[in-house]
Amino acid sequence: MGNDRDQVENVKFFLNTKFLIKDLGKLKYFLGIEVIDTHKGVCLCQRKYCMDLLFEYGLLGAKPMKTPMDMNLVIFDRLDNTDPFIENITLYQKIIGKLIYLTISRPDISYSVQCLSQYMHAPKVSHLKLAFRILRYLKKNPGKGIHIVKGESFSLSAFVDFDWGKCVTSRRSVTGFCIFLNGSLISWKSKKQNTVSRSSSEAEYRAMATVTCEIIWILNALKDLGVTNLLPVTLFCDNKSAVLIANNPVLHERTKHIEIDIHVVREKVISGLLNLVKINTSLQSADIFTKSLCVRQHEFLLEKLNMIDMFCGST
pLDDT digits (tens, 9 = 90+) for 57-91: 999 989 999 999 998 888 876 666 778 889 889 99
Query: Within 13 A of 159's CA, how many CA atoms are on the CB side?
Result: 24
Assess whether 162 and 282 both reside in one domain: yes
- pLDDT at position 22: 87
- In angstroms, the CA 178 to CA 67 distance is 19
If DSSP codes are grouped into helix, strand and coil, which group holds residue 36? strand
Q: Is 90 within a domain? A: yes
In a domain, 12, yes or no: no
User: Is residue 9 domain-resident?
Assistant: no
Whether 186 shows a pLDDT value over 80: the answer reads yes
Shared domain check, 100 and 134: yes
For the chain, the domain total comes to 2
- Predicted TM-score (pTM) of this structure: 0.86
- Contact yes or no for 53/98 (Cβ under 8 A): yes
> Does 198 reside within a domain?
yes
In this structure, what CATH number is given to the domain that contains residue 278?
A: 3.30.420.10
Q: Are residues 222 and 262 in the same domain?
A: yes
Q: How far apart are CA 287 and CA 73, in angstroms?
A: 14
